[in-house]
Each structure stands twice: as C-alpha cells, then as structure tokens.
Structure 1
Amino acid sequence: MTSESAIRESLPTGAVGRVQSVRMKGAVAILVVDAAGLTRPDAERLETEIRANVLRVDGVDDVRIALTAEKRERHIIAIGSGKGGVGKSTLTANLAVALAASGIRTGVVDADIYGPSQPTLLGTQDEKVVASADKVLTPTSSAFGVKTLSMGQLIEPGRAIAWRGPMVGGALTQLMEADWGDTEVLLVDLPPGTGDVQLTMLQKFRPSGAVVVSTPQDLALIDATRALDLFGQAKVPVLGLVENMAGYMCPHCGELSDPFGHGGAEAAAQALGHPFLGRIPLSIEIRLASDAGQPPAAQDTPQGEAFRAIAARIASVIRTVQAEGG
C-alpha cells in the first residue's frame, strides 16, 4: 500500500508546508493544498508540479488535488529611525535575510523613496521589475530568498527623485500593493524622520509592529524618541529598539572603543518600557559586505550572528502571533 510519507517525500520544494492533508483511496492520491497568497498562474503551476511528482510514486494511478485559499494575515513590520545615518537600511536587509533563512517567507519594501539603498544591500540592482497589464508590480527575488521592491530598481542609477508629498505617497502605495504572493512578513525600510511616507504608511497600511534603530549617542536617541512617539500615537506596537554602531574593535590592535557611546538605546528602551532587541557593532566588515551586496546575516561571522540574534527575537514574536491565529 502506498504510504502518505512516500507521497510527501515526492512533493516539489514549493509545496512543502502547503500540503494540508494526503490520503489514498485505492490507487488515487487525494491532496488538500493551501494556495493562500499565490496568484492564479502560480497556483496552477504548483498544482501541475505536485501532480507530476506524485504520479511517479509507485502505486499511484491518479491524483486529485483540492486547492484552498484560506486568507493569511501578512505581517507588516516598519523599520524606522528618528534621523538618517544610523544604519536602518542595513539592519532591514540583514533582518530580512535572517528571517528568510529561518523559514519565514520575507519581503522588503524600500520606502526610502529619495534615498533607496536596498538594491545595493541585497544585490538586486540589476534585476528588472516588471508590471502586469493592470500595472501591478512584481517584486524581484534576491539570492538570499528575499523578495524586494525599491525605487532604486525603477529609475535610472544616479537620477534624483524630486517629488512632492502626493507623488511620494503614490509611489509607496504602488510598492506596498505589488504582487507579494505568499510573503508572510513584509519589512518596510522607512526613510528617516516622521514625514509623508510614515504618515501614508500608518494611514493606509497599518503595520503589525515597528522596530526603531538608533546609535548610542544622545542626539540620535532624542530623534529615535520622536519616531517611537509617532508609532505610539498611531497605536502601532513597538517590537523593540536596536542599538547600532555600538562598539568598535580596532582591526590592527584589537582594542575596543565606543566612539558613539554604549548602552544608550538599551537604557532608553528600559526607561520607555520597550523591549531591547540587541546591538550591532561598528565594523568595517559590515560596511564592505553591504557595499558588495553580501549581507553579513548570511555569513558565519560575529557580525552576522549579531543580526541573526535580533532576527530570532522578532521571528519569535511573529510565530507567537501566527500560532494564536493572528
């Protein structure tokens, strides 16, 4: 008799985690497959691949597949900062890579319309974005399993974007309403500050949570507090604070110094009642890897582990919400 395990072992990679049940009725294999989040062509393609694979199993003469489309909530997580230059985009890219590696289907919206950097960080600057007949964009996929969309992929390299607020809001809407397929978590790399993009995001695409990035210095923390206040006013849960550029180890002598201070973001998180997610060191290795489109989170290094540890804390929150049916 053909076993369920034999059928499951035959499934294509894209079906793993989607097949809800398998049973045999004589020589007929009957499968229930979750197609939530897939476009119709993708669902049909998956059904064809499953049928072809299962028919190769000994004892299976026919395959019947029932596609279900129970709607799943997509978690939108805003990554913000009160000021520029604190490493928000680098954190976003590395969190996305680490979340994807943990099995969470992850996408990145580069909402920093005026200064997009995700194509460089994720190595997708040469990937062309296509649109359907009804002008819905299709995100590109990085080598790290992360879907991404950025204005940096839609304009000529080096071209300035001189848009007023309504145009910026329209651009954000087009990126957010793209065909994200089965993406479970969408990280939104916000521009610094509390301007038009943030307001459009909060009004039209309410995030499930927010992460705020700061360096340890007092000025950055003052600005980070403004970002926290904005999320608080909008009643968006703050998942926590990240302290970036915390500690520098000299590559020549090995001496550790703190040019921007140390522990400020952790102290601020404690004072304001928010979780502290961790700190990222000031490192030439992070800069070099980021410029090369090779996120440190994908590398077995101390810098990569720092990003992965923060991502693990966020993933834990996401999985808890999913388990509770959110």
Structure 2
Amino acid sequence: MVEALLPSYHLRQSSHDTLADAITKGSTFAPQVDAEGFCRLQPLSAGDLPGQALSSFVPLKKMFLPPREKLWSFQSGQFSELEQPEPFAVVGVPLCDLQALWYLDQVFAEDLPYQKRRARSLVVAMPCEPTPDCRCDPQLMPVAGDLFLEQKCAWALSPAGDSLLRSCGAGGAEDQPLPWPTASPERRPQLTEEQLRSSADAAIWAEAAQSCLACGACSVVCPTCYCFDLLDETATDGSVTRGRLWDNCFFAEHAKVAGGHDFRPGRANRLHFRMEHKFFGFGALQGQNSCVGCGRCRRVCPVDIDFDQIAAKLGGEELS
C-alpha cells in the first residue's frame, strides 16, 4: 500500500486557538489518566486540547459501538424511532486507532446506529509517544477520522476536517504524508494465511490454552474486535425491546448454537479462531489484517500471551 498524501495546513497560533475552541464547543472527550493510573476517554473542558495522543485503556470503538445499547422497542403496535445521538468530538487519539476506526467503518457500513454516531462525530488524532508494546504499521490500512493535529500544522482527513480547518483560518495547504511515529516498532512476524489455517491442531494452541484464562480482556480492549449479541426483552404489557451488547469469542457460550453444539468448545479452539480472524479477517474483509499494533492486548493479558510470538513460532521465526 502506497502511503497517502493528505492536505496539510499551516496553523498560526490564532488559527490553532480558534480551532481548539471549534473542536471543543460541544461534548468533547480525550484520553486522560485518572487517579488510579488508568487512561480513559473522559470529558474535556472547552478550549482545552491535550498536548499529545494517549492510548486509552478501552479504545475509541466504545464511542460508536457502546458496550450496551438499545436498538429499538415495540409497544402498542408501534416501533420506536432510533434516538438521534448528540454531536461529540474525540481528541488526542493515536493514528493506529484511526486505522482501527477505518476498519470498523467497513464492518458497520450499513449499521444505522453506528453510522448515526459517526455522522455526528469529530475525531482528531495527535502525535503519540511509542511504547515498547507499539507495533504500528502505516502501510497496514487507511485511516479514518477528521483531523491530525500538531501545534503548527494540521492534516485534513475528511471533507468535514478540511472545511473546519479552512473556517479557522488555516492556510498554505500542501499534500504531505501523515507523520507517523519515527521510532522503529518491533518487527511483526511474517505468517501466511495457509500457515495459520493449517495449524488448528498444532501443539502451540494447547500450550497457550493451558495458561489462558478465557477472560476475554484482549478482545475488550482491542480496537477492532466487534463481536456482539442481540437481546430481546419482553415486558408483561407486551412491549418488546431489542438491545445490543458486546460479546466475546473467548466466552463459553459464544460459539454454541441451537441443539447445544459448540463449534469452539475449548480454549485452544478459541485462541486459534481469534488469531485467524484478527490476522486474516473473513467475509468482505477476508485477507485484511485488523491488528493495528496498538499493544493493548499484550498490556492487559494476565498471563502474558503474545499473539505475535505465537505467529513467529508458527512461521519458524524468532522475535526479540
């Protein structure tokens, strides 16, 4: 994939201040470290922009695919309308999370609740400081979002972002690549789809399953994991509400179907499935690696399972 050239605008201090006010005029969220030391997406004060991007514990996806949401209700012969979400902005996310957002945009391209939230959002990325867990790759997939913002320069990532920059007095536009982190990330293993698919019965999965707790933490914090369940609740008055809530491919009931058959009864099966889905996708996104290298799964796993290390062993490589 050839790295895209995007409109880059020069920002005077006055333009930067005007842009900060415009971005934060409504409900605004940014990754911020709380008193317990966790980085969470929290409300931001008007006119106050963070200095750099941070990797939030639970990623950007929760703003567009909430952990639990009401889809519709039916009462007295009438279906309710989906509520129109309030406009909001998310500021200070890293570029790898914008790649993840692009991926989710493809998955939920025809999902009305998701698309309504996307249409009412403004997403602003900023430079980040790579950590030892970071393995981002600018060539992996495109980015979504609206702006990439530095102190004296801003990149327009969408028509809405371009319009906002122009309205704030930004000038001197010229096409430039996005400034991804310059620190060399740890090399990713080179594993083919055939190598992974044919390894379903390999001993490495049973070995990893011995320590895996099937807690699902890696899926919860992954910016491109999107499994969900649908739940219909019926009240005594005959009304029905349908909700959507996050599901997890590590949970025991996830692959169980009517009649009690379980397609992935063991942890080894689930580990293999998750890695196959993450590295090679399926459906319309077959062949698309959706691991953006953010490192969240490595940081939260209580038993230190590293999918890149598994991939390296399957491919006959050694990672440092």
TM-score scaled by length of structure 2: 0.29
